[in-house]
A and B are shown apart, each in its own frame.
Chain A
Amino acid sequence: MKRAMYFLEQKDMPTRWYNIQADLPEPLPPVLHPATGQPVGPDDLAPLFPMELIKQEVSTERWIEIPEEVQEIYRTWRPTVLHRAYRLEKALDTPAKIFYKYEGTSQAGSHKPNTAVAQAYYNMKEGIKRLTTETGAGQWGSALAMGCAFFDVELKVYMVRISYDQKPYRRILMETWGANCVPSPSPDTKAGREMLEKWPDCPGSLGLAISEAVEDAVTRDDTHYSLGSVLNHVLLHQTIIGEETRKQMEMADAYPDIIVGCIGGGSNFAGQFLPWLRDKISGEKPDLRVVCVEPESCPTMTRGIYAYDFGDTAGMTPLLKMHTLGHSFVPPPIHAGGLRYHGMAPIICHLYNLGLIEAVAAHQTSVFEAGVKFARTEGIITGPEPCHDVKVAIDEALKCKESGESKTILIAHSGHGHFDLAAYDAYLTGKLKDFALPEDDIKKAQSELPKVPG
């Protein structure tokens, strides 16, 4: 019998998160304050986050214990299953072995609860009674609503009004888990009121929703703010994925030659590959390939450069060293919204700069083509973002077919696409278009990068 699923016993679930900052050949460049040029410190962030998360943000300890209370909640859906994609392999007629670690079986349907639960816990431990956050379509808001429900922390979610009106299902998820979800702009904050005065029917925006969530947190002593991607502590919490996968791959008597995942905020893929990358850093597995997949229409890593970049034209925001296409880059539309960041998680940019990970770009129609093939072979309707992983895994498997090599490919699959069926519909009805950014546009954008002070 061919074994298609690898289950880890709950007693074998990892009890520590892995912190790559302990093993980096060079430390992560600091976040600089624009006014002073000095690193942003704990005091700058204390009104928003609990001290334990701020410590994790800058920690260089290799292992961070997962609190027992968090483990207890993790065990309501973890360990997640490692799958062997035999049917996809057969369809591709490849000698490659394809595995995927699927995070879509969490109650919220994605990897997001791995950090949502931890963040709710640390806030509760420090006496915080209430959290705020923003959400677009509601994926992060619903994951945090679940996390807060487990620890009796009140949650207020500022949801972009147009989504609030048009996409009721995630809002209903949030409310079912006990969150107070309001449309942004709301009359509850100064930022919201100002906008409503100017435009009573304003459909909102993500920027405004963030402003409202932060203002709400800063103006109440019992309230903090929570973020679901990009930051170091968020990536740290996601390493439970890779630590589990290491044990499961051992059960399969396999070790990945290639790990593929999509990059945006970077949290799911980082959660998978960081625990493997220490083998490459130590020299034990020098040939391990970690492949980040990004949209061809927004090629931040594959065609960007590594530089300090201002966040605004006045140069008043802090500087962060990250891959960037420069100020004036305006990417064309794609359906995987989370991949459209101007920059991404600093840890991922740093690893790329050190040559420890690589990046490839994929066109969106080919990405959905891969998603459909995956659905028709493995059965899972993949979210638009992890469709990028599937696309590149297929490409690598087809290369194996040509070369005759039997490489082991591991896909970091972040979740299902049940709330993204309109994107599939657009693909199936031929409405999706591919965009490739002209090289001249990229050069022009990069020429406008500012110089680093000091």
Chain B
Amino acid sequence: MESIERYDENMIRCPRVGGYVNFKFCRSENNLLPCRWVTGCWQGKIDINGFLKEHFSAPELEKIFIPPKPKLESLVELLEKAKGTAKKDE
């Protein structure tokens, strides 16, 4: 198995954050898993599909490609989560 860090210094412009990022960011920005857009962004630049299969399990891959949630729903979900956190802290 090749190192997971082998592409880390490659740079690309990330349209989500609006600036240049390295591959290390792309492979870890999704709660330490790759960004869900990683295949599209890196397609043709590195063997991105091979990289993903090599370093991530099937459940992890499934988790990676969860689509972005509609805003209102994700807010309700985050709200409930934050309320739960606050209660625990009390």
Contacts and interface: CB of A to CB of B under 8 A. Distances in A.
A215 B82 contact: yes
Given A198-B32, A330-B65, A336-B15, A230 B44 contact: no
Contact of B17 (A163, A219, A230): A163
B75 to A, nearest CB: 6
B48 to A, nearest CB: 11
A207 B81 CA distance: 14
Contacts of A433: 44
A34 B41 CA distance: 32
Interface of A: 31, 33-34, 40, 44-45, 47-48, 136-138, 160, 162-163, 166-167, 190, 195, 198-199, 202-208, 210-211, 214-215, 217-219, 225, 227, 229-231, 265, 297, 309, 311-313, 316-320, 322, 324, 326-337, 340-343, 346, 419-420, 422-423, 426, 433, 435
Interface in B55-90: 62-63, 65-79, 81-83, 85-86, 89
Nearest to B73: A318
Interface string B32-59: 1001111111011000000000000000
A127 B74 CA distance: 26
A207 B30 contact: yes
Contacts of B82: 211, 214-215, 217-219
Max chain A CB contacts within 10 Å: which of B18, B24, B74? Answer: B18
B35 A311 contact: no
A231 B71 contact: yes
A337 B18 contact: yes
A331 B20 contact: no
Max chain A CB contacts within 10 Å: which of B31, B39, B43, B73? Answer: B73
13 contacts: A34-B73, A44-B76, A162-B21, A190-B85, A202-B28, A203-B21, A318-B73, A328-B67, A332-B40, A337-B15, A341-B68, A422-B19, A426-B13
Contacts of A320: 70, 72-73
What bracket does the count of chain B residues touching chain A fall in?
A: 35 or more
B61 to A, nearest CB: 10
B31 A206 contact: no
A162 B19 contact: yes
Contacts of A31: 72-73
Contact of A207 (B14, B31, B38): B31
Contacts of A309: 67
A205 B39 contact: no
Nearest to B36: A330
Nearest to A205: B29
Contacts of A202: 28
B87 to A, nearest CB: 10
B36 A312 contact: no
Nearest to B42: A333
B16 interface: yes
A217 B78 CA distance: 11
A215 B78 contact: yes
B76 A40 contact: yes
B17 to A, nearest CB: 5
B62 A313 contact: yes
A316 B35 CA distance: 21
Contacts of B7: none
Nearest to A338: B15
Contacts of A311: 66-70, 73-74, 77
Contacts of B89: 190
Contact of B13 (A230, A341, A422, A435): A422
Nearest to B12: A333
Nearest to B18: A137
A324 B15 CA distance: 20
Max chain B CB contacts within 10 Å: which of A33, A204, A218, A227? Answer: A218
A313 B40 CA distance: 20
Given A47-B83, A230-B72, A311-B67, A330 B37 contact: yes
Contacts of B44: 433
Contacts of A190: 85, 89
Given A163-B19, A331-B37, A218 B73 contact: no
Minimum-distance CB pairs A-B, first 9: A137-B18, A311-B69, A332-B40, A337-B15, A318-B73, A218-B82, A205-B29, A333-B41, A214-B78
B13 to A, nearest CB: 6
B16 to A, nearest CB: 5
